Structure 1
């Protein structure tokens, strides 16, 4: 079955600066895809192109066989949820109201807040572990709490596709693993997850499909056990290492040697 979300020979950049050229990628449906690579290699830029925030200067980002830029914003937002980096909350907003903004794609000028909207918000806050913060001001929260609130907002959007740019930023290790387990559970329930992750070992443990990027190019993609080895890690991260089985999951685990 053909992938619904695809990049077909796309070139991406900002002004005259080209970040990625001739990128091809079919995102597996119903899978957890982790995009890994060194800083500034084009990971976030690729995600931005998938949600119409950056139009390729060449090639096409497709969704269901159509150029994603041909969709109306709300139409694509009902299909693809996106959590970027560096979000800033409006002043004096409480958690519940910020999470409720995730329901925007499902609203119209004539619609009113519904029981379905309320259910989606409550479930999203519970899933992200922020239900007890519902009436707190967002500015009062720690960085990690705030990050989980942003995740809840995207979950409230209830899209079949979730694109997440470094979703574990600011989280302690326990909350990182809780969030990654949540994404894996959503994958098991039929959602398609695409996340930029900095921790290769976490990517190997939780993702079905890993995309490794370097200097704007996809240098390898596939199941972690099929592609992640010492040669790839040294090529992508310039990090001498050995790759051994994770003692818990058996998935590849990178151990630096330098």
Structure 2
């Protein structure tokens, strides 16, 4: 697969704490890439670098041959949408208003909302199953409902690239799978999706490109069927396991074999 979005030998740090050194990654176009690994291994930091929220101290993140730092903010926001782990909504904002903020990159300061804007908001709310919440204040919603509203805002942005940091957080099991099916459909429609996921079996079932990280490094990347085996799971998660075919999808399924099982 070709890649328009790449990280080239980037070093990422927060102050004196180095998270990753000389990390390189190509995000395949039209793929659903899942980034997996243990807590604090650098997954979220990598996503922040890809969307320019964290500048590498060495190396570059490049989109279409240009370093992402060279893009005007609105131009980049028309290309790359991002949903962080813990977004904060303004006080008293209602669901439809928050989802509509996803359209800001497509509008000028004085332009009224177009029919395309209205249609994109309606479609995004329907896809995230929050239409019935449109007039509710966001602060009154449950954690799972709020997460789906934020996902709707990211969908309304209508970007070729959609990056999500732990998008299944707070969602019940039904909504987790509905969201992952939705992300897979977006991939099938030609969008490029990158998501940090904690559930390795969900990642294997829905993603066609897997990036496994540990200690700020990419340990392995490729198709789940090509790279996921017991040795990789031990290396990345320090978890003994056996790998069996998922009975529904046929993709690799990790079955832990902890001592005492």
Range class of TM-score, shorter chain: over 0.9
Aligned position for 1:116: 116
Aligned position for 1:240: 240
The superposition leaves residues 189-216 of structure 1 with CA deviations (integer Å, 9 ceiling, x where unpaired) of 0000000000000000000000000000
CA RMSD, aligned part only? 0.7
Q: Distance in 1 between matches of 2:67 and 2:223?
A: 27
Unaligned runs of 5+ in 2: none
Unaligned runs of 5+ in 1: none
Report whether the alignment pairs 1:58 with 2:58.
yes
Query: Secondary structure of 1:48's partner?
Result: helix
Aligned position for 1:175: 175
Q: Distance in 1 between matches of 2:13 and 2:196?
A: 18
Q: Distance in 2 between matches of 1:132 and 1:2?
A: 40
How far is 1:32 from its partner?
A: 0.3
Aligned position for 2:155: 155
How far is 1:139 from its partner?
A: 1.1
Q: TM-score, normalised by structure 1?
A: 0.99
Aligned position for 2:221: 221
How far is 1:39 from its partner?
A: 0.4
Query: Secondary structure of 1:4's partner?
Result: strand
How far is 1:23 from its partner?
A: 0.6
The superposition leaves residues 86-124 of structure 1 with CA deviations (integer Å, 9 ceiling, x where unpaired) of 111111111000000111111212311111110010000
Q: Distance in 2 between matches of 1:140 and 1:2?
A: 43
The superposition leaves residues 152-204 of structure 1 with CA deviations (integer Å, 9 ceiling, x where unpaired) of 00000000100000000000000000000000000000000000000000000
Query: What does 1:12-31 align with in structure 2 at a 5 Å threshold?
Result: 12-31=12-31
State how many pairs are aligned: 258
Q: Distance in 2 between matches of 1:233 and 1:47?
A: 22
Q: Distance in 2 between matches of 1:109 and 1:38?
A: 42
How far is 1:63 from its partner?
A: 0.1
How far is 1:142 from its partner?
A: 0.6
Query: What does 1:85-96 align with in structure 2 at a 5 Å threshold?
Result: 85-96=85-96
Q: Distance in 1 between matches of 2:3 and 2:109?
A: 33
Query: Secondary structure of 1:235's partner?
Result: helix
Aligned position for 2:255: 255
Q: Distance in 2 between matches of 1:84 and 1:44?
A: 8
Which portions of structure 1, spanning 4 or more consecutive aligned residues, are displaced by more than 6 angstroms? Answer: none
Q: Distance in 1 between matches of 2:17 and 2:216?
A: 12
Q: Distance in 2 between matches of 1:144 and 1:173?
A: 11
Q: Distance in 2 between matches of 1:110 and 1:149?
A: 26
Q: TM-score, normalised by structure 2?
A: 0.98
The superposition leaves residues 52-102 of structure 1 with CA deviations (integer Å, 9 ceiling, x where unpaired) of 100000000000011011101111100000000111111111100000011
Aligned position for 2:205: 205
Q: Distance in 2 between matches of 1:169 and 1:42?
A: 18
Q: Distance in 1 between matches of 2:36 and 2:208?
A: 13
Aligned position for 1:142: 142
